[in-house]
């Protein structure tokens, strides 16, 4: 039998196949080797980076820490120098001087000669600053004493002259800390000179007969001159101290910048070695990744060509075989196991075709036997077994009408014409009943002997009666002669109709009993008629 599947394509003698495991081994071996080489290369560079980190920790880190320590010492020295100049408490100033000199001495032991030079320059400047600040404090104290003397002489003179009070000269020059403060205090002194101008005028015009006023004026002039001299002495001393402080601060700032540069340079050198090695590792990893990607592309292409593409073609042909379509030939492949599978497709196609044909025949036989088991062999309508199954399946899900039909005086018909004529009459009656049904859901059953049943799902009383009357007419229309009948000269039927609506508690047995009761009433009322079940119908036996 031709299945539409061609024979395998013949292969040349030189066509060599390999096993699937060997094929996968050949493909994966380069990938594994490349991965191993990449791991070794990366580990080598990581070892170099680790070595550089250890070298940095052992050799360069001490230098970085030393530079950091030097920078901290310089900043502490700047803070102590500022305290020497600005602190008012002599103890704080003395402690700052000791700390600054100690830090300067410690800087002499730095390995950089530049730091040593700076330290040797800073130490005498620190001492000079301390001495200048001491002189400035002494000048400030002297100035303060002169201010008190001047205030005393000034007050006596004001009392004698009867002039208003003049602002007290309480600038206390020891608290001056900048050129701006000195300038403001000098302006204050000039303002006081303007205010004292009336006293100076008074002293120039002292009467000769007032020796006490002249003594007060002399005392006022001498205290003013002493105050002015003390002020100049203080300003000079303070300017000297400020100049030394600025010189030291500039020196230490430059030294701090140099120390920061040294620390930054050491850190940069240490990190640059690590960055260089990291760049090498990154480049090596990038190149290895590119090579690995290339090998993987070749691997995927080989797998696709040798495995996936033939499998896809085989899958396509299997779908065609499934739907009975003709298939195309598949080119030979190098994988032995896959080629063996592809070689099985022609025989598989033939077997499937044979199985399909046999399955079709079996289905036909099955349908035939199923039909025989549910159909009456004589009349061709459904049998009693089918009636019971249909009635049980419909259950109480839908309203149901049941027609029970009996051929009137059929025993006399058999006695008159014989059993063969009786069988033909039953078949004709069954056919007439089927022709009377209009819906596909309505079915005719042979209940037993000359009795038939009709099931009408979703039928109302009116519709069920109409179907029964149509059956009655169609049977009479057959015009089968029945001379022995006392009902009519032709074959007739009696029909009982029973309905079970939704919510009715009657079971299947009760429904059949109701139809039997209605049939009994139809037969006892003269036959050849249709009767519907009424509750007043009693349970009586069939005639």
CATH number at 395 reads: 3.30.70.270
Burial group, residue 297, by CB count within 10 angstroms (0-12, 13-18, 19+) = exposed
Residue reference for tokens 């990190």 = 271
Which of 365, 450, 451, 510 does the annotation list as catalytic? Answer: 450
Residue 497: left (phi > 0), alpha (psi -120 to 50), or beta? beta
- Residue 362 domain flag: yes
Task: Output the pLDDT for position 47.
Answer: 78
Same domain as 388, residue 368 = no
Same domain as 502, residue 361 = no
Residue where a domain stops, chosen among 374, 401, 433: 374
Active site residue 138: no
Mark out the alpha helices in 375-443 (DSSP H runs): 384-394, 410-417, 419-436
Same domain as 461, residue 368 = no
pLDDT in tens, 342-376: 777 777 777 777 777 788 788 877 777 777 778 89
Domain count, the chain: 2
Task: Output the pLDDT for position 489.
Answer: 94
Same domain as 390, residue 339 = no
Range of the domain at 437: 379-532
- Residue 5 domain flag: no
Same domain as 477, residue 390 = yes
Band (48; pLDDT cuts 50, 70, 90) = confident
Same domain as 389, residue 349 = no
Same domain as 486, residue 391 = yes
pTM above threshold 0.85:
no
pLDDT in tens, 202-225: 777 667 667 777 777 877 777 788
Task: Output the pLDDT for position 541.
Answer: 39
- Residue 361 domain flag: yes
Q: What is the DSSP string of 287-342?
A: HHHHHHHHHHHHHHHHHIIIIIHHHHHHHHHHHHHHTT---------SBHHHHHHH
Paired sense of beta strands 530-532 and 493-500, if any = parallel
Which tokens belong to 85? 């100049």
- Residue 430 domain flag: yes
Same domain as 407, residue 523 = yes
Higher-confidence residue of 418 and 352: namely 418
> Rounded to 5 degrees, what are φ and ψ at 542?
-70, 150
- Residue 20 domain flag: no
- Residue 43 domain flag: no
Burial group, residue 479, by CB count within 10 angstroms (0-12, 13-18, 19+) = exposed
Same domain as 402, residue 339 = no
Residue where a domain stops, chosen among 323, 358, 374: 374
Same domain as 394, residue 369 = no
Band (259; pLDDT cuts 50, 70, 90) = low
Residue reference for tokens 């290339």 = 294
- Residue 98 domain flag: no
Most confident of 21-25, 123-127, 183-187: 123-127
Same domain as 505, residue 445 = yes
Same domain as 423, residue 443 = yes
Most confident of 3-12, 32-41, 400-409: 400-409
pLDDT in tens, 128-170: 877 777 888 888 888 888 888 878 877 777 776 666 655 555 5
């Amino acid at each position: 039998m031709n299945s539409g599947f061609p024979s395998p394509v013949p292969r040349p003698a030189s066509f060599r196949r390999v096993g699937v495991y060997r094929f996968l081994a050949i493909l994966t071996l380069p990938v594994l080797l490349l991965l191993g080489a990449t791991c070794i290369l990366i580990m080598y560079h990581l070892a170099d980076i680790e070595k550089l980190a250890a070298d940095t920790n052992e050799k360069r880190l001490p230098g970085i820490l030393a530079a950091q320590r030097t920078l901290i010492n310089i900043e502490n020295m700047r803070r102590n120098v500022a305290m020497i100049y600005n602190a008012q408490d002599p103890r704080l100033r003395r402690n700052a001087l000791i700390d600054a000199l100690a830090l300067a001495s410690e800087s002499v032991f730095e390995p950089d000669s530049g730091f040593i030079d700076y330290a040797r320059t800073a130490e005498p400047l620190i001492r000079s600053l301390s001495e200048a600040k001491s002189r400035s404090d002494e000048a400030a104290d002297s100035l303060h004493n002169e201010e008190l003397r001047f205030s005393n002489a000034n007050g006596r003179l004001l009392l004698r002259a009867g002039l208003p009070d003049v602002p007290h000269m309480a600038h206390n020059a020891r608290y001056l800390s900048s050129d701006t403060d000195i300038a403001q205090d000098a302006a204050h002194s000039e303002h006081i000179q303007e205010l004292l101008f009336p006293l100076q005028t008074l002293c120039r015009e002292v009467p000769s007969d007032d020796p006490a006023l002249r003594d007060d004026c002399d005392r006022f002039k001498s205290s003013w001159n002493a105050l002015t001299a003390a002020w100049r002495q203080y300003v000079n001393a303070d300017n000297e101290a400020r100049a030394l402080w600025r010189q030291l601060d500039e020196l230490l700032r430059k030294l701090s910048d140099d120390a920061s540069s040294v620390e930054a340079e050491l850190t940069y050198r240490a990190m640059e070695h690590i960055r260089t090695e990291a760049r090498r590792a990154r480049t090596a990893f990038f190149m290895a990744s590119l090579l690995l990607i290339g090998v993987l592309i070749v691997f995927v292409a080989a797998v696709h060509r040798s495995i996936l593409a033939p499998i896809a073609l085989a899958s396509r042909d299997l779908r065609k075989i499934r739907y009975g379509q003709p298939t195309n030939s598949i080119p030979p492949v190098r994988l032995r196991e896959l080629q063996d599978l592809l070689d099985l497709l022609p025989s598989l196609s033939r077997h499937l075709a044979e199985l399909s044909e046999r399955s079709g025949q079996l289905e036909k036989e099955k349908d035939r036997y199923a039909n025989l088991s549910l159909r009456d062999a004589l009349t061709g309508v459904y049998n009693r077994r089918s009636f019971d199954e249909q009635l049980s399946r419909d259950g109480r899900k839908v309203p149901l009408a049941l027609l029970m039909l009996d051929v009137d005086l059929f025993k006399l018909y058999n006695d008159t014409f014989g059993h063969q004529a009786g069988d033909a009459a039953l078949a004709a009656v069954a056919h007439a009943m089927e022709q009377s049904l209009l819906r596909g859901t309505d079915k005719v059953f042979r209940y037993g002997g000359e009795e038939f049943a009709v099931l009408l799902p979703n039928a109302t009383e009116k519709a069920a009666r109409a179907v029964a009357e149509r059956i009655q007419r169609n049977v009479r229309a057959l015009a089968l002669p029945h001379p022995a009948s006392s009902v009519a000269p032709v074959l007739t039927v009696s029909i009982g109709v029973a309905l079970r609506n939704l919510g009715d508690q009657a079971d299947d047995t009760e429904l059949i009993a109701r139809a039997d009761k209605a049939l009994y009433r139809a037969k006892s009322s003269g036959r050849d008629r249709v009767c519907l079940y009424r509750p007043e119908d009693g349970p009586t036996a069939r005639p």
